[in-house]
Amino acid sequence: MGGGAVADAIHAIARQVRPHTATLLADADDPHAELLTLFWGPQFDREHALALWARFSQRQPVEAVPMLPALLSVGERFDALERTEKDRLRRLIVRHRALSE
């Protein structure tokens, strides 16, 4: 995948997950750590994502329903990235964390 396509793929994931992170991670002690957990392994951590979603759905069941397909779609997009692209996404999350502190 070329440099522009890599950036596009990573930005597509960010655009897709961004609207949901504030609500999904609202009760997390460290939202960035939770986000990194989802993306740290070679594949998107669906088990952790579903646990976060289940916790959120207990608080806000109506809002949680449309979030699940979007969350799983993010996982599919992440899994399709090359290893270097996944590493770049992780670095962006870490950099955002440093800027937020």
Query: What does the alpha-carbon distance between residue 10 and residue 14 come to, in Å, rounded to a whole number?
Result: 6
The structural domain count of the chain equals 1
CB atoms < 10 A from the CB of 52, how many? 23
The reported pTM is 0.81
Query: What does the alpha-carbon distance between residue 73 and residue 51 come to, in Å, rounded to a whole number?
Result: 16
Residue 44, domain extent: 3-100
pLDDT digits (tens, 9 = 90+) for 65-98: 888 898 898 899 999 999 999 999 899 888 877 7
pLDDT digits (tens, 9 = 90+) for 53-67: 999 899 888 888 888
